[in-house]
């Protein structure tokens, strides 16, 4: 199925690619090492383009390494949850006899709020990036399954699927060769949306100070900067809070724009002229 991306989708895709490249090449493009220390609270200069924090870390360096954390969390969480959710949706949508049982399981997982669960776990142990990925993936696949399942059921009732069954095509062949490719735009949209949810959840955990303090993430940068009670009485917030907040906002915006256009390629009635 042809994917239709509008201008907003391409802008969002460009933002995602830039962040992904920066995160992947962080050790090569960062001006300093994350542990390097300089004069604390230095304003932006030619040596420190985004200044330094209250400890003396280069803000730009931590911003670049924070992109790597967002890329890892978003990609792995979206990949795991989307894969599981798509498989469950294929089985539930294609085999009506399994749908009641699977629907009850989906209802259970959909009622569990993922971010509060991570907060509860933080009272017992300090969550790291891998624990966050595990929790978000384990409880996130149900969202993908719920969205894709009705489409699988609708597609399975079409005449070409009936003809395939009549000529003796195996169920596995029909699901893999016909139903799965037909759902690609919807799966891609869910992948992007789930990646955005994961990035935002990880940043929220860091913002609340519940993440491993050694983790370099945008949420942890914001939380660390806000520990200074007088930060908004000076210009420090401009280069300590501003960059990670802007980066996080742009990444979530980019993912949302791409997801909207991908959904629109599957259902033209969902398309909105944003530009």
Please provide the average confidence, as pLDDT, over all residues in the chain.
85
User: Does the global pTM surpass 0.75?
Assistant: yes
Between 33-47, 51-65, 121-135, the lowest mean confidence (pLDDT) is in 121-135
Q: What is the mean pLDDT of residues 11-37?
A: 92
Q: What is the mean pLDDT of residues 172-200?
A: 87
Phi, psi for residue 113 in degrees, rounded to 5? -75, 125
The CATH code that applies to domain 7-270 is: 1.10.3720.10
Give the pLDDT band of residue 137 (cuts 50, 70, 90): confident
Tell me, rounded to whole angstroms, the distance of Cα 258 from its chain centroid: 12
Q: What percent of the chain has pLDDT over 90?
A: 26
Give the pLDDT band of residue 133 (cuts 50, 70, 90): confident
Query: Distance between CA 220 and CA 228 in Å, rounded?
Result: 14
Residue 2 pLDDT more than 60?
no
pLDDT of residue 266: 57
Q: Secondary structure of 136-197 in the HEC alphabet?
A: HHHHHHHHHHHHHHHHHHHHHCCHHHHHHHHCCCCHHHHHHHHHHHHCHHHHHHHHHHHHHH
Give the pLDDT band of residue 61 (cuts 50, 70, 90): very high
The better pLDDT of the pair 2, 112 is held by 112
pLDDT of residue 81: 93
Instruction: Give the domain ranges of the chain.
Output: 7-270
Between 68-77, 154-163, 183-192, 232-241, the lowest mean confidence (pLDDT) is in 232-241
């Amino acid at each position: 199925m042809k994917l239709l991306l509008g201008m907003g989708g391409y802008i969002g895709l460009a933002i995602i690619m830039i962040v992904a490249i920066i995160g992947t090449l962080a050790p090569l493009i960062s001006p300093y090492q994350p542990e390097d220390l300089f004069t604390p609270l230095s304003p932006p200069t030619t040596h420190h383009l985004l200044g330094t924090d209250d400890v003396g870390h280069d803000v730009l360096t931590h911003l670049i390494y924070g992109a790597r954390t967002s890329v890892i969390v978003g990609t792995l969480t979206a990949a795991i949850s989307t894969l599981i959710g798509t498989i469950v949706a294929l089985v539930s949508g294609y085999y009506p006899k399994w749908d009641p049982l699977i629907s009850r399981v989906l209802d259970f997982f959909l009622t569990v709020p993922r971010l509060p669960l991570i907060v509860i776990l933080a009272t017992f142990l300090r969550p790291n990036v891998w624990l966050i990925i595990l929790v978000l993936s384990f409880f996130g696949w149900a969202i993908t399954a719920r969205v894709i399942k009705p489409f699988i059921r609708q597609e399975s009732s079409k005449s070409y699927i009936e003809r395939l069954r009549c000529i003796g095509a195996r169920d596995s062949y029909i699901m893999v060769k016909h139903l799965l490719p037909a759902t690609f735009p919807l799966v891609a949209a869910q992948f992007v949306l789930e990646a955005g949810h994961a990035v935002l959840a990880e940043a929220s955990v860091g913002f609340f100070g519940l993440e491993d303090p050694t983790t370099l993430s945008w949420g942890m940068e914001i939380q660390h900067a806000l520990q200074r009670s007088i930060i908004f009485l000076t210009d420090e917030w401009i280069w300590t809070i501003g960059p990670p907040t802007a980066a996080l906002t742009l990444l979530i915006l980019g993912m949302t724009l791409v997801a909207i256009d991908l959904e629109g390629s599957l259902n033209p009635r969902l398309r909105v002229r944003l530009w």
